[in-house]
Amino acid sequence: MTPSTTMTQDCALLGAPDARVALYLPNRPLWPQADVCPQAPDVPALIRHNGNHWRKIFSILAKLCSPASMRWQDYRDQAVLHEDEVICFADSLLLDARWHLIAGKASWQRLGLDTANFMPLDTEGRVWVRDNILLTPYPDYRQFPNRTVDRVRALLKGER
């Protein structure tokens, strides 16, 4: 499997196109070098180039998806988006993803999804679930705190 890392205006994916977990976001990061696309996403370089905003996004994704045998920080810097995750900027759901994490109301609206058709995952109403689709807060620490990360992670790992 070769991850898709081309990030032009037409590019809709960042990461492994046949990933298990798809995170849907409204905005793309900027590449450190416009004409260079590495074989796999260099997350630390993307964080350095795009700043704290993207560090938060990659950190939350790593916390959600890292295996129990690996620290989430190491997973973020070494493995996230290389095999099991993809970030999607398109206007439709990916067919092959096992889980769809639709991040933030802008993404919910772009994909035509509404909480009225979903059940809340928690009493706070931060995450809404229908089958394998989760309407989540935008991946920012204030909106997506660790307790919410833990609930979503448990669902993704089949512990719910």
Tens-place pLDDT, residues 114-129? 999 999 998 999 999 9
Specify the pTM.
0.89
Residue 5: inside a domain: no
Q: What is the pLDDT of residues 69-78, one digit of tens each?
A: 999 999 999 9
Domain contains 7: no
Residue 3 lies in a domain: no
- Which residue range is the domain that position 49 belongs to? 13-156
Is 98 part of a structural domain of the chain?
Answer: yes
Sign of CA dihedral 35, 16, 63, 151: positive
pLDDT at 93 > cutoff 90: yes
6 is a domain residue: no
Is there a domain that residue 90 lies in?
yes
Q: How confident is the model at residue 37 (pLDDT cuts 50, 70, 90)?
A: very low
Q: Is 35 inside any structural domain?
A: yes
Domain count, the chain: 1
Within-domain flag for 114: yes
CB-CB neighbours of 76 under 10 Å: 24
